[in-house]
């Protein structure tokens, strides 16, 4: 895979980065400013629509690319009953941006995983081009805001599974150039139950240099903690709720939620019955808990629609977010916290990743390290 690498430089300076202090991302990147948009005396449902009109949802995980891959024909702008997500329902749910997952079935690995990820990136671009009135491709916070201001839903490519990079940093750079912005650190030998290997740490540093955000959902506690220590950019958990409320393996225990909040990360609570429970109130319980433990700057939303998961009652598709926000307003969430939950926290993470990348590119060039060099 050497021909995929960028201009090659010596990677010896990478080890020196271990001694750099880890910045407090939450302090450098404060929450988005917000303005109250409704009268506190309004009925919660009407208030929810008003708040979401000003602060739309940035949805952390959509399985739509894989679902569309298996449909012979679809029209997302007109409406598509074969999937949970289309433009009319995104607008009804006040969704302003969403991450389109590039995850693959477990049986797809090795070179096949690299090829299948490239195919899905191409599919995302094809789908967005075919629906120009509803969708717009975005790669950073500014492009997501531009899409929203033009009345389009911003589509951000990612997360992809770690197998997508084929244990090669050159492939990581190529995927970034093609639009990938989030990589899940599971399913690779360099990010296991034992934590990150030396190559895993170098992968995180190269992700920082590029602006690819680490997704830690499903990662081991040791991998999560080592990523917090190595990464200078905030990390995401794109599909993690509170393990204290529901003992799902992808949910985070309170000690990791505390560490995630301290590191400026973002826990995006999935709207799935398996991880959060069967009702909208169960989802709200998880949001309450994550906000309380990690802080209001570290909680977000992840619809997880079109991923094959069952969803709680009243949250069956992408149009249902106002029902969840109404429940939070009934629980006395103020509009500042709702604004961070739906839009501001994702913007902070995107800006944090971009800021870190600009700083890292001044210190080092593309890493030439290989897994054989570092892990043997």
- Tokens representing 55 are 């602060």
Distance CA 209, CA 218 (A): 24
One digit per residue, pLDDT tens: the chain, 376 residues?
433 333 333 333 333 333 333 344 433 344 444 544 444 455 999 999 999 999 999 999 999 999 999 999 999 999 999 999 999 999 999 999 999 999 988 778 788 999 999 999 999 999 999 999 999 999 999 999 999 999 999 999 999 999 999 999 999 999 999 999 999 999 899 999 999 999 999 999 999 999 999 999 999 999 999 999 999 999 999 999 999 999 999 999 999 999 999 999 999 999 999 999 999 999 999 999 999 999 999 999 999 999 999 999 999 999 999 999 999 999 999 999 999 999 999 999 999 999 999 999 999 999 999 999 999 8
* 141-to-19, 93, 148, 356 alpha-carbon distances in Å: 29, 20, 11, 14
Q: Which of 267, 262, 256, 254 is nearest to 301 (CA)?
A: 267
Q: Which of 260, 249, 140, 155 is nearest to 193 (CA)?
A: 249
Backbone angles phi, psi at 94, to 5 degrees: 60, 45
Whether 194 is covered by a domain: the verdict is: yes
Whether 290 is covered by a domain: the verdict is: yes
Whether 312 is covered by a domain: the verdict is: yes
Whether 166 is covered by a domain: the verdict is: yes
Task: Check residue 42 and give its pLDDT.
Answer: 59
End-to-end CA distance of the chain: 18
Query: pTM to 2 decimals?
Result: 0.89
Structural domain that includes position 212: 54-365
Task: Check residue 100 and give its pLDDT.
Answer: 98
Task: Check residue 353 and give its pLDDT.
Answer: 98
Whether 45 is covered by a domain: the verdict is: no
CATH number at residue 332: 3.20.20.140
For residue 354, with 0-12 CB atoms within 10 Å meaning exposed, 13-18 middle and 19 or more buried, which class applies?
middle
User: How many structural domains comprise the chain?
Assistant: 1
Whether 31 is covered by a domain: the verdict is: no
Whether 182 is covered by a domain: the verdict is: yes
Whether 37 is covered by a domain: the verdict is: no
Task: Check residue 10 and give its pLDDT.
Answer: 34
- Total Cβ atoms within 10 A of residue 35: 9
Cis peptide before 159 (omega within 30 of 0): yes
């Amino acid at each position: 895979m050497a021909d995929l690498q960028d201009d090659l430089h010596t990677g010896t300076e990478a080890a020196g980065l271990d001694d750099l202090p880890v910045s407090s991302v939450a302090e450098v990147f404060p929450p988005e400013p917000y303005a109250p948009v409704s009268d506190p005396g309004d009925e919660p449902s009407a208030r929810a629509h008003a708040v979401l009109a000003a602060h739309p949802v940035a949805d952390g995980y959509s399985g739509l690319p894989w679902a569309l891959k298996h449909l012979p024909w679809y029209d997302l702008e007109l409406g598509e009953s074969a999937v949970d997500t289309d433009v009319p329902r995104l607008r009804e749910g006040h969704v302003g941006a969403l991450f389109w997952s590039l995850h693959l079935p477990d049986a797809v690995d090795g070179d096949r995983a690299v090829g299948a990820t490239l195919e899905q990136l191409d599919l995302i671009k094809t789908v967005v081009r075919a629906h120009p009135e509803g969708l717009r491709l975005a790669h950073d916070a500014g492009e997501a805001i531009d899409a929203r201001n033009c009345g389009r839903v911003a589509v951000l490519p990612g997360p992809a599974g770690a197998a997508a990079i084929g244990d090669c940093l050159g492939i990581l750079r190529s995927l970034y150039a093609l639009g990938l912005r989030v990589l899940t650190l599971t399913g690779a030998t360099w990010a296991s139950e034992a934590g990150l290997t030396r190559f895993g740490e170098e992968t995180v540093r190269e992700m920082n240099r590029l602006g690819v955000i680490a997704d830690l959902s499903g990662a081991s506690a040791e991998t999560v903690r080592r990523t917090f220590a190595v990464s200078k950019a905030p990390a995401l958990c794109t599909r993690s709720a509170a393990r204290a409320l529901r003992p799902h393996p992808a949910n985070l225990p309170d000690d990791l939620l505390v560490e995630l909040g301290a590191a400026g990360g973002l826990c995006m609570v999935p709207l799935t019955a398996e991880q959060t429970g069967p009702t909208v109130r169960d989802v709200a319980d998880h949001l309450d808990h994550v906000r309380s433990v990690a802080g209001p700057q570290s909680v977000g939303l992840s619809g997880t629609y079109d991923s094959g998961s069952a969803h709680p009652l009243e949250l069956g598709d992408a149009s249902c977010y106002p029902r969840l926000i109404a429940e939070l307003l009934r629980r006395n969430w103020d509009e500042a916290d709702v604004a961070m939950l739906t839009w501001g926290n994702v913007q902070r993470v995107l800006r944090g990743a971009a800021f870190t990348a600009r700083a890292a590119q001044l210190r080092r060039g593309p890493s030439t390290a290989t897994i054989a060099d570092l892990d043997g």
